């Protein structure tokens, strides 16, 4: 899905609508066991992880753990003031379909960089795959 978004030049912003929250259900709730608590926390963090990965993988923003929805919508819908497109051609990466991390850094103070965290190397085409 992230590769399709990148090819279509689509940015996905995500917003966690739970606002500020805690891992406890409420002040009166006590977990009966450590396992019950771990399962509860895992279920909460799983949705956070997927929203964060979807946003960062498509150069988007992930807004979470805040009650300021007005600020969230302003931030998530604002256009970039400047956009630069960098092109990268890997010379020595093996065409095996494996994931390769990328890092983009700028020296300008206060600049926010939105860039893909990596890419999957292409797999060589076999003659049996082409019909």
pLDDT digit string (tens) for 83-121? 777 887 777 777 787 888 888 888 988 887 877 777 777
| DSSP structure class, residue 38 | H
84: helix, strand or coil: coil
Domain total for the chain?
1
Helix intervals (H) in the chain: 2-7, 34-57, 69-77
Rounded Cα gap, residues 58 and 9, in angstroms = 9
| DSSP structure class, residue 62 | E
Q: Mean pLDDT in the chain? A: 77
Full domain range(s) for residue 112: 2-129
| Per-residue pLDDT at 52 exceeds 80 | yes
The answer to whether the CB of 52 falls within 8 A of the CB of 115 is no
Average pLDDT over every residue of 56-62 = 81
Per the model's pLDDT, the better-predicted residue between 68 and 35 turns out to be 68
Antiparallel, parallel or unpaired: β 99-101 and 118-120: antiparallel
């Amino acid at each position: 899905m992230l590769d399709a978004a990148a090819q279509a030049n689509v940015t996905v912003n995500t917003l966690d609508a739970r606002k500020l929250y805690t891992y406890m259900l409420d002040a009166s709730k006590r977990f009966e066991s450590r396992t019950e608590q771990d399962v509860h926390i895992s279920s909460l963090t799983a949705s956070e992880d997927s929203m964060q990965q979807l946003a960062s993988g498509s150069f988007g923003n992930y807004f979470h753990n805040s009650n300021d929805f007005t600020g969230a919508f302003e931030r998530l819908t604002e256009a970039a003031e400047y956009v630069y497109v960098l092109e990268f051609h890997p010379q020595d990466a093996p065409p095996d379909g494996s994931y390769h991390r990328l890092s983009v850094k700028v020296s300008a103070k206060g600049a926010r960089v939105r860039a893909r965290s990596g890419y999957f190397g292409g797999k060589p085409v076999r003659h049996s795959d082409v019909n």
